[in-house]
Amino acid sequence: MRLVVIGVNHKTAPVALRERLALVGDDVNVALKQIEAFTDGSVIVSTCNRTEIYALVPQTSTSQHANSQLSDSQSSNVQDVKAAGQSSSNNTFSSSMNISSAAISAHITKIKTWLADFKQLPLVDIDPYLYVHRDTHALTHWLRVAAGLDSMILGEPQILGQIKNSVHLAQDQKVLSNQLGWIIDQVFAAAKRVRNETQVGAQAVSLSFAAAKLVTQIFDDLPSRTLLVVAAGEMNRLVATHIAGLGVGRVIICNRNPERAEALAAELRGPNRRVDVRPLQELPQVLAEADIVSSCSGSMDLLIDKTMTIQALKRRRYQPMLMIDLAVPRDIDSTISRIDDVYLYSVDDLQHVIAGNIEQRRQAAVDAELLVSQLVVEIDRRFQVRQVGKDIQQYRACTQGQVDKLLHESIAKLQQDDVSPEDIITELSRRLTQTLTHAPSKLMRKAAREGDSELLDFVVSGLQDAHRGH
């Protein structure tokens, strides 16, 4: 397949180096165009935790490298037959194209050197932190990354969206070859299966995601629900974004600083979502309007006490409320948890939930890793079937060209005087037989010389079966 990946991530490089190797904004477009000069397509994935280049080693250079090792025009066909006869292994992606390891290594070095030059860093400084995968190992790595198995937060779903964005950038720059596009389709389909068929991403492992999960467990009909955001800091922004993304119909933001509240409101507004901004002193009045409350103010005093909550419940006719207190010190009176129809969760409650969920994800990751291995084998086989179809077409076209040449020569001889048609047809038959049996005969002799009994048996039995079929 000629697939390689070169990169760094949170496991191999410190944040200071990851920052220097990051490819963002216009850098990505420029980089993709430059890499296009010496690859058959590439995708650059650059996040806070990784910078990776997925690329195909160009076919032309690898075929030239291989051809320099061959003695005649038919030797490449011999090697193709041998590749088709080899058993499946981690290197079968490269076997069908007869790509030498040296050719792939040379292009890996070229990509590393380009990256160092592009980021204006000495290669010797970054090389120890770079990891390299090739062929099915590269495919396995890409699938693990897409499924969230290589993320800092095991099973997190954001990385798949980030990879899709990276692919869109490559498509916009027109640097995706058909073969790389096919690989990407397989990776996305396989990553979806991993997430759907295992529990690796099923449990919440961040405070904001855990809070959103609670909402779905307590409420349905979310478009009719109202979220009250008390304080517009970064943590509450994340929580509000997650919960709003579930489809709640209305959001109220209470904050001391109106500018920050308006900035958050602008982020959350949507075609089917109303967002209101209220001063913090109106909190007792708006509390009754909220089905869901998320508070994280940093205040030293309680913002929501028991009396305020009881009054809000009366005005709500005791419809249930979910209160999430992410503040330390707490914003919400802990005794509220004793009130019927109120579900109060503190930051410690959510941390306990997350700790249990992380362990469940670790257990699910075992199943996910096994599924990844199985899916890589399936993709490998599909690739071989896809590739051998092209190889067969090329082999038939080559053979047809030789047959046409012999036929043209024979027709020309038949037009001459004093020739025997029987002799010409006999000679044509002999030369056709030699042409069509040359490659398999040479392959059998080579297998015998090298003591490759498995390949020899494969070719001999295959030819015998073909003759019996006729």
Residues annotated as part of the active site: 48
Residue 97 has which token pair? 């194209």
**What's the sign of the alpha-carbon dihedral 382, 387, 393, 399?**
negative
Closest CA to 247 of 287, 202, 215, 279: 215
| Exposure letters 339-367 (e unless 16+ CB within 10 A, then b) | beebbbbbbeebeebbeebbeebeebbee
SS3 for the chain, per residue? CCEEEEEEECCCCCHHHHHHHCCCCHHHHHHHHHHHCCCCCEEEEECCCEEEEEEECCHHHHHHHHHCCCCCCCHHHHHHHHHHHCCCCCCHHHHCCCCCHHHHHHHHHHHHHHHHHHCCCCHHHHHHHCEEEEHHHHHHHHHHHHCCCCCCCCCCCHHHHHHHHHHHHHHHCCCCCHHHHHHHHHHHHHHHHHHHHCCCCCCCCCHHHHHHHHHHHHCCCHHHCEEEEECCCHHHHHHHHHHHHCCCCEEEEEECCHHHHHHHHHHHCECCEEEEEEEHHHHHHHHHHCCEEEECCCCCCCCECHHHHHHHHHHCCCCCEEEEECCCCCCECHHHHHCCCEEEEEHHHHHHHHHHHHHHHHHHHHHHHHHHHHHHHHHHHHHHHHHHHHHHHHHHHHHHHHHHHHHHHHHHHHCCCCCCHHHHHHHHHHHHHHHHHHHHHHHHHHHHHCCCHHHHHHHHHHHHHHHHHC
Side-chain-side CA neighbours of residue 229 (13 Å): 32
The half-sphere exposure of 443 on its side-chain side, counting CA atoms within 13 A, is 26
Of 290, 287, 280, 279, which is closest to residue 307 (Cα–Cα)? 287
Q: Tokens representing 125?
A: 């400084």
Task: Specify whether the CB–CB gap between 175 and 35 falls below 8 A.
Answer: yes
Structure tokens at 70: 């061959």
